[in-house]
Amino acid sequence: MVKSSFIYLSLVVLTSFVLMGSTCTSNAKKTSTGHGYAAFHPGEIWLDTDSVHINAHGGGILFHEGTYYWFGEHKVAGRGGNRAMVGVSCYSSSDLMNWTSCGIALPVATDTLSEITKGCVIERPKVIYNEKTGMFVMWFHLELKDQGYAAARTGLAISDKVSGPYTYVKSFRPNAGIWPMEMTNPSRDTGKYNHLKWWTPEWRKAVEEGLFVQYDFEKGQMSRDMTLFVDDDGKAYHIHSAEENLTLHISELTPDYQDFTGKWTRIFPGGHNEAPALFKRGGKYYLIASGCTGWDPNAARSFVSNSIWGPWEALGNPCIGPDSALTFQSQSTYVLPVQGKEDAYIFMADRWRPRNPIDGRYIWLPISFEDEKPVIEFNEKWDLSVFE
- The DSSP annotation for 256-267 comes to TSSSEEEEEEEE
In the prediction, which pLDDT does 303 show? 98
Q: Does domain 6-176+222-387 have CATH number 2.115.10.20?
A: yes
In the prediction, which pLDDT does 15 show? 38
In the prediction, which pLDDT does 230 show? 98
Instruction: Tell me the residue type at 63.
Output: F
Distance CA 266, CA 181 (A): 9
* Residue 373 phi, psi dihedral angles, 5° rounding: -115, 135
In the prediction, which pLDDT does 185 show? 78
CA-wise closest residue to 237 among 263, 271, 269: 263
Mean pLDDT of 14-18: 38
Which long-range contacts link 13-16 to residues 24+ away (Cβ below 8 Å)?
14/52, 15/52, 15/55, 15/74, 15/76, 15/86, 15/358, 16/76, 16/85, 16/86
The DSSP bridge pattern shows strands 300-305 and 313-316 to be: antiparallel
In the prediction, which pLDDT does 25 show? 52
How is residue 153 annotated by DSSP? E
Distance CA 44, CA 351 (A): 10
What are the pLDDT digits (tens) for 73-125? 999 998 887 899 999 999 999 999 999 999 999 999 999 999 999 999 999 99
Distance CA 204, CA 211 (A): 9
- Beta carbons of 233 and 217 less than 8 angstroms apart: no
What are the pLDDT digits (tens) for 220-259? 999 999 999 999 999 999 999 999 999 999 999 999 999 9
* Position 1 confidence tier, pLDDT thresholds 50, 70, 90: very low
In the prediction, which pLDDT does 35 show? 63
- Collapsing DSSP to helix, strand or coil, 329 comes out as helix
Mean pLDDT value across the chain: 91
Question: For residue 136, is pLDDT > 50?
Answer: yes
Across the chain, which distance is largest between two alpha carbons, in Å?
A: 67
CA-wise closest residue to 338 among 40, 96, 91, 7: 96
3-state DSSP: the chain helix, strand, coil percent, rounded to 5?
Answer: 10, 40, 50
Mean pLDDT of 17-41: 57
Residues in the chain: 388
In 10 A of CB 307, how many CB atoms? 10
Question: For residue 179, is pLDDT > 70?
Answer: yes
Question: For residue 28, is pLDDT > 60?
Answer: no
Query: How are strands ordered across the β-sheet holding 331-337?
Result: 319-320, 373-377, 361-370, 345-351, 331-337
The DSSP bridge pattern shows strands 313-316 and 319-320 to be: unpaired
**Partners of 260 in beta bridges:** 253
- Beta carbons of 208 and 216 less than 8 angstroms apart: no
Instruction: Tell me the residue type at 180.
Output: P
Domain layout of the chain by residue ranges: 6-176+222-387, 177-218
Which ranges of the chain would DSSP assign to H, the alpha helix? 6-15, 201-209, 211-215
- Beta carbons of 277 and 227 less than 8 angstroms apart: yes
How is residue 13 annotated by DSSP? H
First-last CA distance in the chain: 35
Query: How are strands ordered across the β-sheet holding 284-290?
Result: 274-281, 284-290, 300-305, 313-316
Between residues 156 and 28, which one has the greater pLDDT? 156
Mean pLDDT of 298-318: 98
* Residue 98 phi, psi dihedral angles, 5° rounding: -110, 120
Between residues 13 and 361, which one has the greater pLDDT? 361
Strand (E) or helix (H) holding 128: strand 121-130
Contacts of 157 (CB under 8 A, 6+ apart): 88, 106, 138, 140, 166, 167, 168, 169
Distance CA 50, CA 53 (A): 9
- Beta carbons of 345 and 334 less than 8 angstroms apart: no
